[in-house]
Amino acid sequence: MTAQIIDGKAVAEQLRAELKSKVADLKTKDILPGLAVVLVGDDPASRSYVTAKGRACDEIGLYSDNRCLPELTAQEDLISLVEEFNHDPRIHGILVQLPLPKHIDEGPVVLAIDPAKDVDGFHPVNVGKMVIGQECFLPCTPHGILQLLLRSGVQIEGAEVVVVGRSNIVGKPIANMLIQKSLTGNATVTVCHTRTHNLADHVRRADIIIAAAGRPNTITADMVKEGAVVIDVGVNRVEDATRKRGYRLVGDVDFDSVKEKASLITPVPGGVGPMTITMLLYNTVQSAMRAAGLEA
């Protein structure tokens, strides 16, 4: 079997078009959703993410306020800026780009964000609500994965899902979301990680594989059941002298061999990646609607 490719760029564009029309509709009610993005330091990868977020806001007509703070910014100053945004009525979503420089403790910074504006879904209040199935902001990458599965017609209910990776940003939340009693839940989920014995034995049972280990070639064809759905969340740079920038991006899945066994597979780039920023826009629009007392 040769897999059908899940085109994350196309799904993201469709969702952004839906959001753009919702934003235009909100404008007629004098509501303009706003997103604040804070970057500390000048890590080039983080800077390009932040630029892309600002551009995405412009594209669908959101207000955005991007702040780039110097590497040596004090933790209290960062928290003061977050608090300023908490009280700014133009801002409905606040995102502090992670990772932060080493001298800043991420925990208190995330705690300082008003949970009602935590469009990343990283605040413990939102994490807790997600786990117990209450309305909350869902974290963007796992939320994007669910949208890809849903819009590709994948049967989640009753499926055996194997998640490889247990990060707070992807592995833990996606596993939780997939076991909820919901349209995108009711799956049977196994979470594998660096201390798992016989990773291949677990992955071979999966109807849906979610690879979020952060290591190239974690999933090879011999580990994949014929007809499985494969979602590759990895973004890894590997040296490539034939590219102008000296590297290329690969996922966690050995794409060329696995696509011969899977029924559906996401590429890297162009799979999960384009969905993450889109779900951030989605959460920001949802936040503005909630703040205005509208059904989100």
Pick out residues in 187-226 that bind ligand GUN (CB under 6 A): none
> Is 120 a known active-site residue?
yes
- 225-255 residues labelled b (16+ CB within 10 A) or e (exposed): beebbbbbbbbbeeeeeeeeeeeebbbbbbb
Identity of the residue, 120 or 232, whose beta carbon is nearer to ligand GUN in the bound complex:
120
> Which DSSP symbol is given to 72?
T
Phi, psi of 40 (to 5 degrees): -110, 125
> Is 252 a known active-site residue?
no
Pick out residues in 260-289 that bind ligand GUN (CB under 6 A): 276
Q: How far is the CB of 1 from ligand GUN (least distance, A)?
A: 33
> Is 97 a known active-site residue?
yes
- 268-286 residues labelled b (16+ CB within 10 A) or e (exposed): bebbbbbbbbbbbbbbbbb
Pick the catalytic residue: 117, 118, 120, 259?
120
Task: Name 272's Cβ contacts closer than 8 Å, sequence gap at least 6.
Answer: 8, 141, 144, 145, 148, 231, 232, 233, 266
Phi, psi of 209 (to 5 degrees): -110, 130
Identity of the residue, 97 or 218, whose beta carbon is nearer to ligand GUN in the bound complex:
97
Q: How far is the CB of 254 from ligand GUN (least distance, A)?
A: 24
Identity of the residue, 218 or 278, whose beta carbon is nearer to ligand GUN in the bound complex:
278
- The SS3 call for residue 52 is helix
Decide: is 140 part of the binding site for ligand GUN (CB under 6 A). yes
Q: Spell out, one character per residue from 74 to 113, where the chain touches ligand GUN: x when CB under 6 A holds, - when not.
A: ---------------------xxxx---------------
Q: Which residues bind ligand GUN (CB under 6 A)?
A: 95-98, 120, 140-141, 169, 276
Catalytic residue numbers, as ranges: 53, 97, 120
